Amino acid sequence: MDRPAAAAAAAAAAAAAAAAAAAGSESGGGPGPVPAGGRRPPRGAGAPAAGSRQPSVETLDSPTGSHVEWCKQLIAATISSQISGSVTSENVSRDYKALRDGNKLAQMEEAPLFPGESIKATVKDVMYICPFVGAVTGTLTVTDFKMYFKSVERDPNFVLDVPLGVISRVEKIGAQSHGDNSCGIEIVCKDMRNLRLAYKQEEQSKLGIFENLNKHAFPLSNGQTLFAFNYKEKFPINGWKVYDPVSEYKRQGLPNESWKISKVNSSYELCDTYPAVIVVPTSVKDDDLSKVAAFRAKGRVPVLSWIHPESQATITRCSQPLVGPNDKRCKEDEKYLQTIMDANAQSHKLIIFDARQNSVADTNKAKGGGYESESAYPNAELVFLEIHNIHVMRESLRKLKEIVYPSIDEARWLSNVDGTHWLEYIRMLLAGAVRIADKIESGKTSVVVHCSDGWDRTAQLTSLAMLMLDSYYRTIKGFEALIEKEWISFGHRFALRVGHGNDNHADADRSPIFLQFIDCVWQMTRQFPSAFEFNELFLITILDHLYSCLFGTFLCNCEQQRLKEDVYTKTISLWSYVNSQLEEFSNPFFVNYENHVLYPVASLSHLELWVNYYVRWNPRMRPQMPIHQNLKELLAVKAELQKRVEEIRTEKAKAKERNGIKYGRRCGGTATLLHCWWEGRWHNHFRKLQHFLTKLNTLSEAFIQEK
């Protein structure tokens, strides 16, 4: 059942991408909000996703009275485009195909808008230079949320829908022999693709395509706000309530005699990049905690992330100690780590996992940073995980982008992937997290995890280890809570790492740290297909909205900043959209084995490039067979049969009571014969049903093998 699960998770992307290839067009949508509004939020990409709710013809006919619902459904109609790209896909949902065949969407002269979205510029006779099918001429619309290109030259119409938040930079390029179209623009995106547009010189001044794209793709650099603050969709669920720190710590059995839930940072004075609520040792006084903060980079003191329900071994996170070249010491910090070790009666040792390379840590020490020495921390063991820094990861992703878009060198594909070192870095992260999880689970030893500042590699390692150790985080809402807790509340610098609304594409602070984490999670879902409640579409949707700026979830750098910007009151959470249509993001083969620890194999032989994400815009890289919908239908049939089995069991019990007991009183031994007759009859029913259920399971697995 594990293999079917993996297939189901990868399905949506497969169907759309394969269809786009068959249709001969490049993927058109983008991670631009998967229409996050309503059934489908931001219209981020292009075509509808298989199995998602699509807009009805009636709704499209009356966009005014029920505009919100129309937008919601239109959003759903585009979800798969996030994966496949263009509305030319032949394998989109039946509802959307009916819509398209009815020519309702095609008849819309203007780009469809979400609540709060407005058009800034519309230009006709723009040429999209597709690297796969050549030049396509159509109308370009720029809104404050997306770039929408539509061509009626093809049947079905070609649509390219790209959220502006996904754009990294916009550059003018020279003419490329396209007739009168002598002015060009290259749009470099954060989601592994580049787009090229061309238009007539005489149109340039009055259209201002370049200026409009630059202005609205980078609103913060132009004195404007991100679109998330203007997005006005309504959802039945408030995603901001997914994570409550006190409730999460109580779920872990906290507070207890050794650990307390503290609000010492309620005003963010102890550490301005930490959340207001933290968990620290019970015996530690606030004054001592302040001294520890002064000895840790950015004031990021060791705080608890997770505690083992049985051994009480803990994962605590922090930043590097400010030892410096003179080996400075802090007795409060040394005592603090000893207290963390003492809180676990199962072990008399503390393992400190430093995510950095040893050589880099030495360099940091010369600059005032450093690491814990065994002389200052006698009961601690220091382990360097040798994971490279953000600059190396950024360069690795750049190399990966070069080999997947727009052309792929089939003859050198494997060596080219190897040359990026991307999978090697994924392996190192998984290997480090496995070591942490193993020390907690098997070694019953508490661990401290840090890198330099404690908001990049530290977040990757703690969240992955917690995902391996705690089955709750492998559910949809548990995974949402994990992201909210370990990444968002503990100050991963999303704004700087992603560059939301900022035109400085060469900023050295940008790095695919969160992308690597999600990639690691995807690798785990491949090795344990039944262990996760969510599917591949869920992970891709998260990454798409990491860039889209449709939701407030990934905005800003820390909790304090989000409160200052009123993110929680003026924007919508991504989880509002996700949790309003859980069926789209659920793994139909999920089995919730509580207290089951996962140890993924952190070996290159067990890792693979996530083609459905990194190569989804290239229609020539055909993905797996589109089996997602088939599996869902099989599961629906199976559920119906199981329901029927239960009904038969109930009927059997009632029949036995009526006919067995009733006649037994009158006939004595006759009851035994009657009972045997009934047992034989029901046995035949069950045997047939169970045989059919077995065939369904076999058929499901057969679909998986077609991958």
Q: Do 2 and 143 sit in the same domain of this protein?
A: yes
**Number of domains present in the structure of the chain:** 2
In Å, what is the CA distance from 54 to each residue of 40, 95, 96, 581?
9, 6, 6, 12
* Known catalytic membership, residue 451: yes
Please give the Cα distance from 292 to 705 (Å, whole number).
Answer: 55
pLDDT of residue 182: 64
pLDDT of residue 316: 99
Please give the Cα distance from 266 to 327 (Å, whole number).
Answer: 32
| Token duo for residue 138 | 């159509």
Q: What is the mean pLDDT of the chain?
A: 82
Cβ atoms 693, 641 nearer than 8 A: yes
| Structural domain boundaries enclosing 655 | 628-705
**All residues at 6 or more sequence positions from 219 whose CB lies less than 8 Å from its CB, including other chains:** 144, 225, 226, 227, 501
- Which residues face 176 on adjacent strands? none
Is 60 exceeded by the pLDDT of residue 68?
no
% of the chain exceeding 70 in pLDDT: 74
Q: Which residue has the higher pLDDT, 92 or 286?
A: 286
Q: Which residue has the higher pLDDT, 431 or 692?
A: 431
| Position 516 in a domain | yes
Q: Do 72 and 218 sit in the same domain of this protein?
A: yes
At position 361, the amino acid (one-letter code) is A
Please give the Cα distance from 688 to 147 (Å, whole number).
Answer: 56
> 595: pLDDT confidence band, cut at 50, 70 and 90?
confident
Is 60 exceeded by the pLDDT of residue 615?
yes
Q: Do 603 and 636 sit in the same domain of this protein?
A: no
pLDDT digits (tens, 9 = 90+) for 4-57: 444 434 443 443 333 343 333 343 343 333 433 333 454 333 333 333 333 322
% of the chain exceeding 90 in pLDDT: 65
Q: Do 534 and 680 sit in the same domain of this protein?
A: no
pLDDT of residue 162: 97
> 104: pLDDT confidence band, cut at 50, 70 and 90?
very low
Q: What is the mean pLDDT of residues 64-68?
A: 37
| Position 181 in a domain | yes
pLDDT digits (tens, 9 = 90+) for 271-315: 999 999 999 999 999 999 999 999 999 999 999 999 999 999 999
Q: Do 553 and 660 sit in the same domain of this protein?
A: no
Of 616, 640, 672, the domain-final residue:
616
- Which residues face 172 on adjacent strands? 185
Q: Which residue has the higher pLDDT, 682 or 382?
A: 382
Catalytic residue among 183, 451, 520, 549: 451
| Position 415 in a domain | yes
Please give the Cα distance from 338 to 372 (Å, whole number).
Answer: 12
For residue 463, give the nearest of 495, 430, 439 by alpha carbon: 430
Any idea how long the chain is?
707
3-state SS of 604-641?
HHHCCCCHHHHCCCCCCCCCCCCCHHHHHHHHHHHHHH
Q: Do 535 and 567 sit in the same domain of this protein?
A: yes
| Position 186 in a domain | yes
3 state DSSP class of 167: strand
pLDDT of residue 95: 35
Half-sphere exposure of residue 304: CA atoms within 13 angstroms, side-chain side: 33
Please give the Cα distance from 238 to 226 (Å, whole number).
Answer: 20
Q: Do 551 and 492 sit in the same domain of this protein?
A: yes
Q: Do 652 and 596 sit in the same domain of this protein?
A: no
Q: Do 199 and 177 sit in the same domain of this protein?
A: yes
| Position 654 in a domain | yes
Of 616, 640, 669, the domain-final residue:
616
| Position 372 in a domain | no
Q: What is the mean pLDDT of residues 194-206?
A: 74
Determine the distance from the C-alpha atom of residue 171 to the mean position of all C-alpha atoms in its chain, rounded to a whole number. Answer: 29
Cβ atoms 140, 125 nearer than 8 A: no
Highest mean pLDDT among 410-424, 613-627, 669-683: 410-424
Q: Do 604 and 635 sit in the same domain of this protein?
A: no
Of 559, 594, 616, the domain-final residue:
616
pLDDT of residue 31: 38
pLDDT digits (tens, 9 = 90+) for 478-487: 999 999 999 9
Q: Do 59 and 203 sit in the same domain of this protein?
A: yes
pLDDT of residue 635: 67
> 643: pLDDT confidence band, cut at 50, 70 and 90?
confident
Please give the Cα distance from 107 to 61 (Å, whole number).
Answer: 11
Q: Do 530 and 584 sit in the same domain of this protein?
A: yes
| Report field, pTM of the whole predicted structure over 0.75 | yes
| Position 8 in a domain | yes
Pure H helices in 258-315: 286-295
| Position 133 in a domain | yes
